[in-house]
Amino acid sequence: MTARRIIPCLDVKDGRVVKGVRFQGHADMGDASELARRYRDQGADELVFYDITASPEGRTLDYAWVRDIARALDIPFSVAGGIRTNDQAGRCLDSGADKVSINSPALERPDLIAEMADRFGRQCVVVGVDSRREGDDWVVHQYTGDPDASRRSGRRTLDWIVEAQTLGAGEIVLNCMDQDGVRRGYDIEQLKAARARLTIPLVASGGAGSARHFRDAFVEAGVSGTLAASVFHTGALTIGALKTELAREGVEVRP
């Protein structure tokens, strides 16, 4: 069995790490480089950095900032934020990122996924999906980094993740918006439905509040990795303690 991944997520706005609840009311959580080093030292398997206002503002992220992060880390990390072209993705990778994650730009132009996979390899291409329940289904939202710009994309979540996989995505990060920041557990129902439709790795995001929540995502939903933010930023749970508890539960994790 492949070891499951614990992935702290750092949402960055104006150079600072922030965290909200259900993508609203962002509060300052600290310096991105400082938090990145802390999580590296605690045993994070990867890190994800989202410049959350880049897409709503029509810009891409700061490559110098990516280089600064790369110099501080010796573990893989992914970056996201307004990446709309192969050249922009290439500059992120050349600056030290291991993966690039695209979300709203992929919804604007799905062929971007295929173009990036052809040029860089699908292992470098992550597609983030911000999903919210509507009735008996889930729908994709875009521009969620800005509450004033956030809107429905017109796509069903389960259809979109299959399309993204077909186009060449190497991994899907499913952000369950209704669970985001509330720390009541991942959306197991939605994750199971997504996992059943994918052959590529699926990473859960939104809702972690205890070690049990991570365990449920791995064991019940079969995800490859779990993203979490506030539970780590606030110190409610450390990565070392989490991995110890997961190992007790029979979940294979890296030391």
Please list the active-site residues.
11, 130
* d(C-alpha 223, C-alpha 193), whole Å: 11
DSSP 34-89: HHHHHHHHHT-S-EEEEETTTTTTT----HHHHHHHHHH-SS-EEEESS--SHHHH
Helices (H) and strands (E) in the chain, counts: 10, 12
Neighbours of 252 (CB within 10 A): 11
* d(C-alpha 168, C-alpha 186), whole Å: 26
* d(C-alpha 93, C-alpha 212), whole Å: 34
Q: What is residue 112's three-state secondary structure? A: helix
* d(C-alpha 88, C-alpha 90), whole Å: 5
Note whether 241 and 6 are within 8 A (CB). Answer: no
Q: How far is CA 224 from the centre of its chain?
A: 12
